[in-house]
Amino acid sequence: MSENKDETSQDASPPEGFDDDRTRLLDTYRQWKRTQPSELPNQRLPDKQKIPELSCPPPQDFFQFDRRGADFRHQDLRNANFQEAYLPGADFEGADLRGANFHGANLRSTRFHQSQLAWANFTQADLIWADFQQADLRGTVFRHSTLRGATLVRVQAQGTDFSFTDCSHVEFRESDLSEADFQQANLNGASFLNAKTATTNFQESQGLEQKTIHQQPPSSSDSFFS
């Protein structure tokens, strides 16, 4: 009986080299598995959900940035922070600055030609001789800023806040100032030739003479304000 048990135990033991073969098979299976598509669904967001992230970069911080004549032309600077920046003579032509913060910034002789500045904040900013020609200033806040001698020709400034602002000698020619607020603003020497001011608030403004305001009647053929 003992001999039969020994034979049975010997038959039950793995053959020589079995462990090596098993290891090779497992390795082969793992390599094959890595080449197969994942069974889990693709976790990447659909393209339509990525669009806002790609088109709306994180806000950039230029707090107290100091660079005379800086070049920001045609850059995407939405919601950027330029608070207390020193940027006299800077060029923002064609830049997208919607929602940007220029509170207390020095922007003398800065160029914002054809820039998008809707909802931007220029509170207490120095904008003497700044150029805003053909800029989008809808809902922009200039409260308590200095715009003396600035050029705001053909701008879209519907609902813009110019209250308590020094707008002396500013040229608003052919601009849309519908619903804009010039309450207690300094308008000495300002020009509103052919500007849309029928619904503009000039309450308690200084230096404004009605005879100097030549309103431009609304026109559906005006492509600039369409």
* CATH (domain of 161): 2.160.20.80
Residue 166 included in any domain? yes
Residue 185 included in any domain? yes
Give tens-digit pLDDT for 76-133. 999 999 999 999 999 999 999 999 999 999 999 999 999 999 999 999 999 999 999 9
Residue 9 included in any domain? no
State the DSSP H helix or E strand holding residue 52, giving kind and residue range, or none if neither.
helix 47-55
Residue 49 included in any domain? no
Residue 141 included in any domain? yes
Residues composing the chain: 226
Residue 104 tokens, joined: 């207390």
CA atoms within 13 A on the CB side of 145: 30
Q: Which domain holds residue 124?
A: 58-217
Q: Domain count of the chain?
A: 1
Task: Return mean pLDDT, the chain.
Answer: 82
Burial state string for 147-174 with b = 16 or more CB within 10 A and e = fewer than 16: bbbbbbbbbbbbbbbbbbbbbbbbbbbb
Residue 42: pLDDT band by 50, 70, 90 thresholds? very low
